[in-house]
Amino acid sequence: MSVFLTVMNAVAAFILFFSMSGITNWVVYVSGQAKIFPFILGMVLLVNAVYLGLTKNEIGAHRGV
């Protein structure tokens, strides 16, 4: 489950960064001030993806017999 969440967080962050980059004709964020929130959200999603990717243990996955 953590691998799925890692991939989804990374994809969402990359979509946010791509939409802010100006490569496409998307006019989602008109001003520089409007880009602050998606940038912070993208950074949080990427940090969360890295954290989930680096932590190998999942709660409930290690059940003793």
Within a domain: 13: yes
Name the range with the highest mean pLDDT among 25-29, 42-46, 53-57.
42-46
Domain contains 14: yes
pLDDT, average across residues 44-53: 86
Q: What is the pLDDT of residue 3?
A: 79
Using the predicted structure, report yes or no on whether residue 29 has a pLDDT greater than 80: no
Residue 11's nearest CA partner among 37, 38, 46, 56 is: 46
59 falls within a domain: no
Q: Which domain holds residue 28?
A: 2-54
Rounded to the nearest integer, the mean pLDDT of the chain is 78
What is the pLDDT at residue 16? 84
Establish if 21 belongs to a structural domain.
yes
The count of domains in the chain is 1
- Domain assignment present for residue 28? The answer is yes
Find out whether 9 and 48 touch, Cβ atoms under 8 Å. yes
Domain assignment present for 61: no
